[in-house]
């Protein structure tokens, strides 16, 4: 999932409209498969710090290591793949990247169709049946 040079929404009352927020990260975690990656880049330092902080504080995302960042060909293209990125480069501006992987926690609840069925829980790759 890519968020390339999003609108910064500087006013505090509009922070809720930012495309990276604690609430929207819950939705993205639902939509992205485990192991999927969120790429963000901006030329606004405040927004870059905000996006990185939101992702760091979310339990379903973990930052890529330096080795993973260097090995990922997409990271190298983030600054040059868009017109906005090319404009920032031409003008000698800075960019702020945050790249995080959707992390599969040690347990995940599995959906159960009938309400009378016992709750199933997948933990450490073992299926457990909980009595209601």
The yes-or-no answer on residue 7 being catalytic is: yes
CATH of domain 2-104: 3.40.50.150
Q: Which of 7, 43, 49, 72 is catalytic?
A: 7
Domain spans of the chain, in order of start: 2-104
The Cα-based distances of 73 to 32, 68, 100, 103 in angstroms read 20, 10, 15, 20
The DSSP secondary-structure symbol of 65 reads P
What is the pTM (predicted TM-score) of this model?
0.75
User: Mean pLDDT, 10 residues at a time, over the chain (132 residues)?
Assistant: 91 85 92 94 95 95 95 93 92 96 66 48 42 45
How is residue 42 written in tokens? 């901006």
Query: Could you give the dihedral angle defined by the CA atoms of residues 28, 30, 35 and 37, in that order, rounded to the nearest 10 degrees?
Result: -10
Q: Would you state the pLDDT for residue 32?
A: 93
């Amino acid at each position: 999932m890519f968020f390339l040079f999003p609108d910064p929404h500087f006013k505090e009352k509009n922070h809720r409209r930012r495309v990276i927020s604690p609430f929207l990260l819950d939705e993205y975690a639902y939509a992205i498969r485990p192991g999927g990656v969120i790429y963000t880049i901006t030329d606004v330092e405040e927004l870059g710090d905000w996006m990185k902080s939101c992702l760091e504080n979310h339990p379903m995302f973990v930052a890529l290591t330096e080795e993973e960042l260097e090995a990922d060909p997409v990271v190298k293209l983030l600054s040059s793949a868009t017109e906005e990125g090319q404009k920032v480069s031409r003008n000698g501006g800075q960019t702020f990247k945050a790249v995080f992987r959707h992390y599969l926690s040690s347990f995940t609840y599995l959906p159960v169709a009938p309400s009378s069925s016992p709750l199933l829980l997948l933990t450490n790759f073992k299926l457990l049946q909980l009595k209601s």
